[in-house]
A and B are shown apart, each in its own frame.
Chain A
Amino acid sequence: MSDGSTFDVQVLLEGARIVAVRIDDEMIVKEVVGDWCEIPVGEDVRDAVPALIGLEDELAQELPYIQMPFVSLGDSHETPVAISVQRDWKTEALWVLLRDVSEEAAVQERLVHQHNALSLAHRELAAARDAALMADNAKTRFLANVSHELRTPLNVVIGGASILRKPRETPLPVEDVLAFSNDIHDSGVLLLQLVDDLIDLSRAETGNLTIHEEWCQPSGIIDEMIRLTRGLAEAEGIVIAYHPSANTPEIYADPRRVKQILLNLLSNAVKVCKPGASIAVETSVAGSGDFVLIVRDDGPGMSEADLAIALEPFGQPNAETRARGTGLGLAIVRRLAALHQAEFSIETAPGEGLAAITRFPAERLAASAGR
């Protein structure tokens, strides 16, 4: 039957062991007796037809017939063969038929390959579509949040103003007028802050948030920002501590943006802390040469899930503090840090306070830059 593309192998079995293989192809070269290829008991047969390894046991378990359509030796010649193994119950012989299937294989292989490559591309597309949908949802949520956040202070402004201008027989008492104008003023300030934050955020998203870097001394900036927030903190009975060290290195950064980072972190800390709490600003140079700026508070801290929310725009896990900030602070801090290639992270746990860590890379330090 040896027509070049097809060949037969006959394997003789003694009990469950293969004792001889007949093959009319040169695949097995051993002691040839007539048109038989005689092989001593054992491993040599398995060497010649590795596909049979393990199958002896299966066939011994009275499995009548095994067929494997495309088998090839991956590490040597790649002629794929179809293998059929059948046990002849009368003679106890095991018949193994190997058929060259290289032509079918070539066609099938192309098909399988195309099918697989297409399926993979399809999955990637589906994943990209899901991601796009999610981004779209996030945008919709964001817009809903923006309008909500704008509406709240605007309602105060409009409501307050309409009370003030309403004609009435007896004028409003002075305290009321003062209270309404204060509310209107505060809401206006909040609105302005919100609009500024939104502009920064959208610039950051579109890659248009620019920074103007220069060498600056962090301790000066920290002092200034603490002075700005101290009034608010003290009114709440909160202490802010900072002990600048004489050798705080200069960093190459945008001082306005560093101020913004600090101001956001400090006002967040003040917002969550209860009277009697304390906030500390710490700076250090890490072993890696990074400049580390930490704003630490001993407030209520938050869980991992809440932290994930807090890092998103408008994410304020704690409803009580909602009215007191734009909810864009951490989202902006994260982006401002990224603009300086600084790593921003938060370490916190419920009841354990919170540490907001901004790590400026060593290249931004005066010492390592040779200054």
Chain B
Amino acid sequence: MKAHKVIVVGDFGVGKTSLIRRYVLDVFSDQYRATLGVHLYKHTDTIPIAGTEEQVRLVLWDIEGAPLPGEQMMRYSLGASGAIVVGDLTRPDMAEPMRRAADMVEARLPGRPIGIALNKRDIAPAPDDASVAALKDRYGALIACTSAKTGDAVPNLFRDLTKRILGGKAGTV
């Protein structure tokens, strides 16, 4: 069983760590503790694919946040099979850091699937359909309004991304 590397990137404090910890450990904390460098989470999930339950091993890279993807973020992205770009719905300036992160992923990991998490849905209204459609068109990304706090849409986003990763590399799995 091959393991897949999935990076999670975005501005700081948007909830990257919280989303991963919700998915992998099913926990949440209101405390903000900035991530330094990168934290690795190993996770084995069972994902229904074409009618059968498939075991998939993932290594999730929780990468230090920044409004602009720096050299470190690029270095940590090497060899990833897919990426999740996280934005914080409570921020009026959510779009720009997300676009930059997604552009970095596209340039560094061409052709690899991207998932977009519009996070903190529990304390912010959903974005308008037009801007979601624009993101979807631009990056061909999976998009979900998530809440790491309540767990809403979190596992599904990771699983849908994993399905795309497996789908794209069906021959080598």
Query: Which residues of A are at the interface with B, using a C-beta cutoff of 8 A?
Result: 43, 46-47, 50-51, 53-58, 63, 66-75, 78, 80, 105, 108-109, 112-113, 115-117, 119-120, 123, 127
Across the interface, B40 reaches (CB within 8 A) one of A66, A73, A120, namely A73
* Among candidates B5, B21, B32, B33, residue contacting A53 with C-beta atoms closer than 8 Å: B5
- How many residues of B are counted as interface, with CB atoms below 8 angstroms from the partner's CB atoms? 36
Among B48-56, B58-66, B155-163, the one that faces the other chain is B58-66
Binary contact track B70-109/A, C-beta < 8 Å → 1, others 0: 0010011011110000000001110000000000000000
Tell me if B34 and A112 are in contact (CB < 8 A).
yes
Task: Please measure, in the bound complex, the distance between the C-alpha atom of A74 and the C-alpha atom of B3, giving whole angstroms.
Answer: 17
A72-B62 Cα distance, complex, nearest whole Å: 10
Q: Which of A70, A78, A127 has the most CB of B within 10 A?
A: A70
Taking a contact as CB atoms under 8 Å apart, the answer to whether A109 and B34 are in contact is: yes
Convert B29-41 into 0s and 1s, putting 1 for each residue whose CB lies closer than 8 angstroms to a CB of A: 0001110111111
Are B91's CB and A69's CB within 8 A? no
A50 to B38, Cβ gap below 8 A? no
Q: Which chain A positions have C-beta within 8 A of B93?
A: 123
Query: Which of these, B1, B4, B25, B76, contacts A68 with CB under 8 Å?
Result: B76
In the complex, are the beta carbons of B3 and A69 less than 8 A apart? no
Q: How far is the CB of B24 from chain A (nearest CB, A)?
A: 6
**Cross-chain contact of B42 among A54, A63, A75, A116 (Cβ < 8 A):** A75
Cβ B78 vs Cβ A116 within 8 A? no
Q: Can you report 30 residue pairs joining A to B where beta carbons are below 8 Å apart? A: A43-B3, A50-B40, A53-B3, A54-B4, A54-B81, A57-B79, A58-B78, A66-B78, A68-B38, A70-B37, A70-B38, A71-B38, A71-B40, A72-B39, A72-B40, A73-B40, A74-B39, A74-B41, A74-B62, A75-B40, A78-B39, A80-B36, A105-B37, A109-B36, A113-B32, A113-B33, A116-B13, A116-B32, A123-B91, A123-B93
Nearest B residue (CB) for A59: B79
* C-alpha spacing A61/B43, complex, angstroms: 27
Bound: A31/B4 CA distance, A: 26
Residues of B at under 8 Å CB distance from A? 1, 3-5, 12-13, 17, 20-21, 24-25, 32-34, 36-43, 59, 62, 64-65, 72, 75-76, 78-81, 91-93
- Docked pose: A119 CA to B65 CA in angstroms: 12
A43-B1, A75-B24 known; A50+B42 contact, CB < 8 A? yes
Contact residue among A53, A108, A116, A119 (Cβ-Cβ distance under 8 Å from B79): A53
Bound-state CA distance A120–B91 (Å) is 10
**Known contacts being A53-B59, A112-B64, is A72 close to B37, with CB within 8 Å?**
yes
- Compute how far the CA of A322 lies from the CA of B95 in the bound complex, rounded to whole angstroms: 40
Given A55-B78, A69-B37, A112-B36, 17 new contacts (CB under 8 A): A47-B42, A50-B40, A51-B59, A54-B4, A54-B5, A57-B79, A66-B75, A70-B36, A72-B39, A73-B39, A74-B21, A74-B40, A75-B42, A75-B43, A109-B36, A116-B12, A120-B12
Q: In the A-B complex, list the 7 residue pairs whose CB atoms are closest, starting with the nearest.
A: A70-B37, A54-B79, A74-B39, A54-B5, A113-B34, A109-B36, A116-B12
Instruction: Name the one of A51, A72, A75 contacting B25, with C-beta atoms under 8 angstroms.
Output: A75
Instruction: Tell me, rounded to whole Å, the shortest Cβ–Cβ distance linking A160 to chain B.
Output: 51
A75 touches B36 (CB 8 A): no
Contacts of A117 in B (CB 8 A): 32, 34
Nearest neighbor of A72 in chain B, beta-carbon distance:
B39
Q: Is the CB of A108 within 8 A of B78?
A: no
- CB contacts (< 8 Å) of A46 on chain B: these are 3
Contact yes or no, A58 B79, CB < 8 A? yes
Which B residues touch A58, using CB under 8 A? 78-79
B91: chain A residues within 8 A (beta carbon): 123
Q: Which residue of A lies closest to B37 (CB)?
A: A70
Cβ–Cβ contact B34 & A54, under 8 A: no
Tell me, in angstroms, the Cα distance from A116 to B64 when the chains sit together: 11
Closest residue of chain A to B32, judged by CB? A117
**Which residue from chain A places its CB closest to the CB of B66 in the assembled complex?**
A116
Other-chain contact of A127, B13, B64, B80, B92 (Cβ < 8 Å)? B92
Give the CA-CA distance A74 to B29 in the complex, in Å: 14
Q: How far is the CA of A254 from the CA of B1 in the complex (A)?
A: 71
Residues in chain B near residue A68, CB distance under 8 A? 37-38, 75-76
A63 to B78 alpha-carbon distance, docked (Å): 11
Q: List the A residue with the shortest CB-CB distance to B62.
A: A74
Complexed CA–CA distance, A50 and B43 (Å)? 11
